[in-house]
Structure 1
Amino acid sequence: MRWQYAHLNETPYLYSSKHLKQMHKKARSKDETEAMWGHMQKHEVDDYEYKGYYNLARQIQEELHGEETVDMEWGDIFEDYKPVMTKDGLKLEKRRKTDGQCKTRFPFTNAYSI
Structure 2
Amino acid sequence: MPISFAHIAPVLMLIASNVFMTLAWYGHLKFGSKPLWLVVIVSWGIALFEYCLAVPANRIGHAVYSTAELKTMQEVITLIVFAVFSVSFLGEKLTMNHAVGFVLIIAGAWFIFRGPL
Q: Relative contact order (alpha carbons < 8 A, sep ≥ 6): 1 or 2 greater?
A: 2
Comparing both structures, which one devotes a greater share of its residues to helix?
Answer: 2
- TM-score relative to the length of structure 1: 0.32
- TM-score relative to the length of structure 2: 0.31
Comparing both structures, which one devotes a greater share of its residues to strand?
Answer: 1
Name the larger-Rg structure: 2
